[in-house]
Amino acid sequence: MPVFIYSFLRARGIDVSFSLLLRLSGITKHKCFQTLKKINKSPEYVNRDQKQLILGKISKIENHFHLNSKFSENASRILLKLWELLKNTTATSTILPATFSIFSWLYFTIYCVITSFA
């Protein structure tokens, strides 16, 4: 049952670590992976909109750090440009929002420095 809850939360973009799943469930890694392989073939998991999940996390980052809307606009543009290269990576729901946020912050910082000298 914990593996199903884990998959349900992950499909909805809620970060739950694999180590937490193992610790709370008390099942072995092997059994957990076997169950996850079966679950991850479900249409709900396969058809989830990764772009929207990532954009939602970028929005949370923007709100948490009180950043302006330019930040999320830049992150969205970077996401769209790099999506075809990165969409099949295994860490899309956790690593990519942070990556696009950093790229956006760097772009914004460089843009501000360049425009201040112009």
Provide the CB-side half-sphere exposure for 30 (13 A, CA): 0
Q: Is the pLDDT of residue 43 over 80?
A: no
Domain ranges (residues) in the chain: 2-46, 50-117
pLDDT bucket at 24, cuts 50 / 70 / 90: confident
pTM recorded for the entire structure: 0.58
DSSP annotation of 42 reads: S
Is the pLDDT higher at 43 or at 79?
79
Which tens digits make up the pLDDT trace of 50-95? 888 888 888 888 888 888 888 888 888 888 888 888 777 666 666 7
